[in-house]
Amino acid sequence: MQARLALLAFLLGMIAWWQTGKTAFFIGALFMLAPWPWTLLVIRPTNDALLATDPIKANGKTRVLIVKWGRLHLVRTALGALGTIAFLYALAAD
């Protein structure tokens, strides 16, 4: 569902940019789409390592991976927040 919403936000942001010429819509659209490559290229290896871990054999290294996973997801959340801020700026700017 998040991927679809990100794609929809990207498309609508691009349409708004095309119709208004406001660069903030373009930037917001890019920020909305940015979590896709971030997830596939950066978060996925950590996810794969965590999924490959046998819960019975979890140890300190597993804990480090979970903390890393949380930080990586924080970046993804920040990208979406920056996109939202860019859209709000574009709406407020004359």
Q: What local confidence, expressed as pLDDT, does residue 3 receive?
A: 86
The pTM (predicted TM-score) of the whole model is: 0.86
> Nearest 5 degrees, angle CA 76-CA 36-CA 46?
65
Per-residue pLDDT of the chain (94 residues; tens, 9 = 90+): 788 999 999 999 999 999 999 999 999 999 999 999 999 999 999 999 999 999 889 999 999 999 999 999 999 999 999 999 999 999 998 7
Q: What local confidence, expressed as pLDDT, does residue 29 receive?
A: 98
Q: Where are the alpha helices (H) located in the chain, listed in sequence order?
A: 2-20, 23-33, 35-38, 44-51, 60-92
Residue 18 tokens, joined: 């095309």
State which amino acid sits at residue 91: L
Per the CB < 8 A criterion, the answer to whether 32 and 6 are in contact is yes
Reference 29, options 94, 90, 73; nearest CA is 90
